[in-house]
Amino acid sequence: MQVTITIPRGWGYPRFTFGQRTKQGVVVGIEFIPSNSLIAKENAAGWYYGLLLDKNSKDIIYLSEDEI
């Protein structure tokens, strides 16, 4: 069974997908921060990704699209 994710209008599409390898690691989580939220006032709004740096570790870092 294939999982389908629906993205609300106005959010745009994420640049990276689950399991995709980047320079920093493998994408294991995706989060969207809306521009009208309190969190966006501290950080930039947009897509953030949880990256697993090493497959033998539990350490996950969170980076914005611009940081990847």
Residue 42, domain member (yes or no): yes
Residue 6, domain member (yes or no): no
According to the model, what pLDDT value does residue 37 have? 83
Residue 20, domain member (yes or no): no
According to the model, what pLDDT value does residue 29 have? 94
Question: pTM for the full model?
Answer: 0.83
Residue 63, domain member (yes or no): yes
Residue 44, domain member (yes or no): yes
How many domains does one find in the chain?
1
According to the model, what pLDDT value does residue 57 have? 86
According to the model, what pLDDT value does residue 11 have? 87
Residue 13, domain member (yes or no): no
pLDDT in tens, 6-51: 888 888 899 999 999 999 999 999 999 988 888 887 878 899 999 9
- Contact by Cβ (8 Å): 29, 23: no
